[in-house]
Amino acid sequence: MKQYAMLVGGRWVEPASGAYFESVNPYTAAPWALIPRGGKEDVERAVAAAKSAFREGEWPKLTASARGALLCRLADLVAAEADALAEIESTDNGKLIAEMRGQLKYIPQWFRYFGGLADKVEGRVIPIDKAGVFNFTREEPLGVVAAITPWNSPLLLAAWKLAPALAAGNTVVWKPSEFASVSALVFGRLFERAGFPPGVVNILTGYGGEVGEPLITHGDVAKIAFTGGDRTGEHVYEMAARGLKRVTLELGGKSANIVFDDADLDEAVKGVVSGIFAATGQTCIAGSRALIHRSVYDAFVERLLALARTARMGNPLDPDTQVGPVTTRPQYEKVLDYIRIAQGEGAVCRLGGGLAERPECGSGWFIEPTIFTGVRPEMRIAQEEVFGPVLAVIPFETEEEAVRIANGTLYGLAAGVWTQSIRRALTMAERLEAGTVWVNTYRAVSYMSPFGGYKRSGIGRESGIEAIREYLQTKSVWIDIVGHAPNPFVMR
Ligand code: TXE
């Protein structure tokens, strides 16, 4: 098994503890890599390196254009390594090679887009209301940013944070998930090759409590950019609050895919299937609730079952596989628990309903694509994030009712609407409490378009111009231009 090292201050280092843990391939359930088990001492070193890179040396002296050029160079290197990195991700987290290749080929665009944006961050000259002073603003970086990322799309979700954070001039300590760290440690080499000064990006691996917490609570960390579960996100927010730190939180969801009676049903069926079974449902934007208009309900469910039944399960490295394993053992158990909960609540299991024991699934953590009907909106299966291939189907009668059910959870990450009516599409886009609304499509993201959650799905936005603001702070500069002080005892 290959043993990896962490990146601190431009050097590849062992953890202070000397301890390593195994990363497990979810398709074989066997360990395949040894990951450094970082701790508090490593956090001290990494944050010190990031702080010193922020304040001294080459990085703060670079022009914004030069920073942008570094990010574009990084993009080219990522593009050249895309296939190799995709294979690592697929081996480490069990997601389809086709999906990971697609992501890896797309990731360079985040670095190009924010590289291009780096020298377009401008302050303003304010025509101030006071005589004899000149006032302008500067947009400045925050300092050391802690990026904490999950296992489901390890490099994509890291790029969403690192690209704007670096474009804005911050330095970064990045902690990938303990369940999928290998791609981060390999990706780290590309920062060196692109020419980033040492310490600008540091990578620490290990567990949330051992590396994540000391990182978040470290006095020299200015901001936390986190993607993960909402409970962990809440805890991260509490810890960040104690230090009055900024946060961007991208948390879970219980997104509704809403199919109206005037929809193109063939396309809608594909959209609902892709919303929940692509990525084995392990995506924050999973369309885990299908809301179907009563008049097309029976026909739609039949078509849905027919298409879902054709899903090819198996080795995620096989390009023909459509549904891979669940990434982690705890996640596998969580999904099986939710299937039991749904059955206990009286939902009707129409497809799947348990672990997959097909020969092509080997000894991996596979769960059959599962569809429940007879779901009522208040059931736990319709309220809580499962993060697996489990769909809850709910009928509705009116537009009003669809809105009420769709908005009736604590979450608000995304929603899908299937209709041919432009009026309905626009009305729904306005009324749905979700950071992203897709009409007649699902699961589309871009580096250009802001992404984030309403309600319990998160705080702040990633991607798009909005994202760079999350990594900047505004300074107001006042300059006297008349040369004599007014009355020193009153405010100017
Ligand atoms: O995520 P965690 P887990 C959801 C999904 C899933 C559930 C749990 O519902 O079933 O979360 O998954 C780090 N201080 N999503 O346990 O715990 C951790 O090491 C600091 C939604 O894997 O949120 C990892 O790097 N950091 C989601 C990261 O947080 C801590 C993606 C995410 O782990 C920490 C993944 C702590 N105390 C899961 N505890 C999405 N929104 O896409 C953990 N971490």
Among residues of the chain, what percentage have pLDDT more than 70? 100
CA–centroid distance, 400 to ligand 1, in Å, is: 34
- Residues in the chain with pLDDT < 70? none
Minimal CA–CA distance to 456: which of 243, 225, 254?
Answer: 254
Residues 280 and 371 in one domain: yes
Residues 433 and 461 in one domain: no
In this structure, the residue with its CA closest to atom 15 of ligand 1 is 229
CA–centroid distance, 335 to ligand 1, in Å, is: 15
In this structure, the residue with its CA closest to atom 44 of ligand 1 is 208
Residue 434 included in any domain: yes
Residues 49 and 188 in one domain: yes
Residue 492 included in any domain: no
Residue 445 included in any domain: no
pLDDT in tens, 251-292: 999 999 999 999 999 999 999 999 999 999 999 999 999 999
Per the structure, the count of domains in the chain is 2
Residues 263 and 237 in one domain: no
CA–centroid distance, 354 to ligand 1, in Å, is: 24
Contact between 462 and 442 under an 8 Å Cβ cutoff? The reply is no
Residues 32 and 153 in one domain: yes
State both tokens at 143: 């300092």
Does pTM top 0.85 for this prediction?
yes
Catalytic residue among 210, 284, 361, 385, which? 284
Residue 491 included in any domain: no
Residue 487 included in any domain: no
Residues 40 and 86 in one domain: yes
From 232, 245, 455, 457, mutation site for ligand 1 pocket: most ligand atoms within 8 A of C-beta: 232
Residue 448 included in any domain: no
In this structure, the residue with its CA closest to atom 11 of ligand 1 is 229
pLDDT in tens, 438-458: 999 999 999 999 999 999 999
Task: Report helix, strand and coil shares of the chain as percent, to nearest 5.
Answer: 40, 20, 35
Query: Is 250 considered catalytic here?
Result: yes
Residues 232 and 370 in one domain: no
Residues 264 and 244 in one domain: no
CATH number of the domain that residue 324 is part of? 3.40.309.10
CA dihedral 260→266→268→269, nearest 10 degrees, is 120
Give the DSSP per-residue string, 389-442: SEEEEEEESSHHHHHHHHH-SS--SEEEEE-S-HHHHHHHHHH---SEEEES--
Q: Ligand 1 atom closest to Cα of 177?
A: 25
Q: Ligand 1 atom closest to Cα of 334?
A: 10
Q: Ligand 1 atom closest to Cα of 150?
A: 32
In the DSSP assignment, the letter for residue 463 is S
Query: Is 284 considered catalytic here?
Result: yes
Q: How far apart are CA 409 and CA 267, in angstroms?
A: 26
Range of the domain at 311: 256-439
Residues 288 and 405 in one domain: yes
Q: What is the pLDDT of residue 484?
A: 83
Minimal CA–CA distance to 379: which of 269, 275, 259, 288?
Answer: 288
pLDDT in tens, 141-181: 999 999 999 999 999 999 999 999 999 999 999 999 999 99
> For ligand 1, which residues put their CB under 6 angstroms from it?
148-152, 175, 177-178, 207-209, 212-213, 216, 227-229, 232, 235-236, 250-252, 284, 331, 334, 385, 387
Catalytic residue among 99, 139, 210, 250, which? 250
State both tokens at 38: 């970082």
Residue 94 included in any domain: yes
In this structure, the residue with its CA closest to atom 34 of ligand 1 is 208
CA–centroid distance, 376 to ligand 1, in Å, is: 28
CATH number of the domain that residue 39 is part of? 3.40.605.10
State both tokens at 341: 């909960």
Q: Reduced to 3 states, what is the DSSP secondary structure of residue 401? A: helix
Q: How far apart are CA 350 and CA 421, in angstroms?
A: 31
In this structure, the residue with its CA closest to atom 20 of ligand 1 is 212
Q: What is the pLDDT of residue 127?
A: 97
Q: Ligand 1 atom closest to Cα of 251?
A: 41
Burial 309-327, CB ≥16 within 10 A → b, else e: eebebbbbbbeebbbbbbb
Tally Cβ neighbours within 10 Å of residue 1. 11
Residues 244 and 282 in one domain: no
Residues 200 and 151 in one domain: yes
Q: What is the pLDDT of residue 488?
A: 86
Residues 242 and 271 in one domain: no
Residue 485 included in any domain: no
CA–centroid distance, 419 to ligand 1, in Å, is: 35
CA–centroid distance, 232 to ligand 1, in Å, is: 6
Q: Please say whether the dihedral angle defined by the alpha carbons of residues 474, 468, 141 and 178, taken in this order, is positive or negative.
A: positive
